[in-house]
Chain A
Amino acid sequence: MNLDDTLNIIKISIKENLEINNISANITDNTSIIGNDSPIDSMGLIQLCLTLEEKAEELNFEFDWTTETAMSKSKSMYRSVKTLSEEFLLQYNQQQ
């Protein structure tokens, strides 16, 4: 699995979760996942994390979405689609 794969997983997961709430948005690598610019609200974020947990399980690894820096503005993995994809890939690689 490479970064393109995880970017794809994250984008599809976000779109799926937005569709449930009838929200359409253009999701790019730079789309914010937290903060005012994000198309996802806090509950949507939890839903996204649960979806990613399931995807990780399918890929035989455990995705920890409650890291100490999870909600930090400067270090958070939720800063953008790309940073979340990188973290998802990092945790995947660490557990192989």
Chain B
Amino acid sequence: MIIVTGASRGIGKSICKRLISQGQKVIGISRDISKLDFESYSCDISSYEEIKLTAQKIRKKGCSITALINAAGIASMNLALLTPKQTTQNLIQTNLIGTIYCCQIFAPLIIQNKSGSIVNFSSIAVPIGLKGESVYVASKSGIEGFSKSFAREMSSFNIRVNCIAPGPIETDLTKGVDKKLINKLISKQIIPIQFETSDISDLVEILLDNKFKSISGQVITPGGI
């Protein structure tokens, strides 16, 4: 079974749909699971206790976990000097610490499976150093650093850890973002087109596929940067 966080919206939702359509068994994790019609758990990934509890429930079911997709995340566009304290805390707590918690708590379930794959999510805003997203970039840079180091720690257990760093994919997260800024971001990609959530699902499929067992510790930006 594959655990997907952020399963109710955007990229996470799209990944769940894709995996399920291919006959994979998916466990969705989200704060709001009311619209999910597959096995799912309500869980706020910024809370260590909630994730731990969710992991216990999954463990008790005796499921074999083969992969973890950490797609949950939040965004907020603010100049660093104008970012409220609470927004700063929320961004770091959910994006960075939440991803770390999920890796710490769910990875042991994958270790028991003897092999697997973990996919974390960064952003194209990291290599660009996007103005107005300093704190968001800090949270996503942290995920990249953590993933590279964690990939080394997990390699002994035959578990690969990679990051996908998408550009502006059309989701709820980018809905309010100025179209000009989106186009500017896209123009920085080597392949300057706006990718869709299905393109991200394609990449996830590759990173989960044991055929690509040589890929670990990588940050992959759709469209290139």
Residues in chain A within 8 A of chain B (CB atoms) = 42-43, 46-47, 50, 53, 57, 62, 66
Whether the Cβ atoms of B157 and A43 lie closer than 8 Å is yes
Q: Which of B108-157 contact A (CB under 8 A)?
A: 108, 111-112, 153, 156-157
Q: A-B pairs with the 9 shortest C-beta distances?
A: A43-B156, A50-B108, A50-B111, A50-B112, A43-B157, A46-B111, A53-B108, A66-B104, A47-B111
Return chain B residues, CB-CB under 8 Å to A53: 108
Q: Which of B44-98 contact A (CB under 8 A)?
A: 56, 59
Q: How many residues on chain B are close to A (CB under 8 Å)? A: 9
Q: Which of B155-212 contact A (CB under 8 A)?
A: 156-157
Tell me, rounded to whole Å, the shortest Cβ–Cβ distance linking A91 to chain B: 15
Docked complex Cα distance between A53 and B88 (Å): 35
Docked complex Cα distance between A57 and B56 (Å): 10
Return chain B residues, CB-CB under 8 Å to A62: 56
Residue ID in chain A nearest B156 by CB atoms: A43
Docked complex Cα distance between A50 and B59 (Å): 12
Tell me, rounded to whole Å, the shortest Cβ–Cβ distance linking B107 to chain A: 9
Docked complex Cα distance between A46 and B156 (Å): 11
Return chain B residues, CB-CB under 8 Å to A57: 59
Docked complex Cα distance between A19 and B139 (Å): 41
Tell me, rounded to whole Å, the shortest Cβ–Cβ distance linking B161 to chain A: 14
> 15 interchain pairs (CB within 8 A)?
A42-B153, A43-B153, A43-B156, A43-B157, A46-B108, A46-B111, A46-B157, A47-B111, A50-B108, A50-B111, A50-B112, A53-B108, A57-B59, A62-B56, A66-B104
Docked complex Cα distance between A82 and B182 (Å): 59
Residue ID in chain B nearest A49 by CB atoms: B108
Docked complex Cα distance between A22 and B25 (Å): 35
Docked complex Cα distance between A53 and B108 (Å): 10
Residue ID in chain B nearest A65 by CB atoms: B108
Docked complex Cα distance between A53 and B156 (Å): 20
